[in-house]
Homo-oligomer: A and B are copies of this chain.
């Protein structure tokens, strides 16, 4: 099975060494020189493993990692870091890293980890379930007990976040962040979309409800009978 990986690294020398070496091992290796380019390649392609430098121009490694995870992409990420500090590793794992390697590293070591991570991927889930509610992340579709639920891009993101945190209240700010990132609308958009989402859940007679945590945010939880 041909392995497809992405290397996000601004050191051109190091990058071409890695790319060449991996290609010899018949591992196809794309390369991005900065975080922004990396993200767009990740969006466009289906990689088995992502190799991510921590210090990157335009968008640093941790942020790239966070954004990848936010878009519910769980491709294994191997962090490459020049620093050996515990703090970095901890921050890395917080951000959703699967493994890390401290520079300078043996390239053979890299190969072993890439192969190991690429194998890990087979057991990944692409469906979120809460009660009878199912969200197909890849198909971008939702259903309740078999009945399809129509979702717009925004309601999809909201439902995804609420399902990931099912039973736990999610703050208004967290929901806004998921949907709009940093440039957030200033009016009552969020409550309108929450309203749409509630209507969709009602329509299929779902046994789940989005409850309000006054002054804080919302929770998705099973209806108490």
Contacts and interface: CB of A to CB of B under 8 A. Distances in A.
Give how many copies assemble into the complex. 2
A111 B86 contact: yes
Given A46-B174, A139-B167, 8 more contacts: A1-B116, A1-B117, A90-B108, A138-B168, A140-B213, A140-B216, A152-B214, A153-B216
A202 interface: no
Interface of A: 1, 24-26, 40-41, 43-46, 86, 90, 93-94, 98-99, 108, 111-112, 116-117, 120, 138-140, 152-153, 167-169, 171, 173-174, 176-177, 213-216
Contacts of A93: 24-26
Nearest to A98: B1
Contact of A169 (B94, B139, B168, B171): B139
A214 B154 CA distance: 11
16 contacts: A1-B117, A25-B90, A26-B93, A41-B177, A43-B173, A43-B174, A44-B171, A44-B173, A44-B177, A86-B112, A90-B108, A138-B168, A140-B213, A152-B214, A152-B215, A153-B214
Nearest to A76: B1
A177 B46 CA distance: 11
B112 A176 contact: no
A110 to B, nearest CB: 11
B94 A24 contact: yes
B139 A40 contact: no
A140 to B, nearest CB: 5
* Of listed A44, A108, A138, residue having the most chain B CB within 10 A: A44
* Of listed A108, A171, A173, residue having the most chain B CB within 10 A: A173
Contacts of A176: 44
A140 B120 contact: no
A139 B98 CA distance: 30
A40 B173 contact: yes
Nearest to A177: B44
A40 B45 CA distance: 41
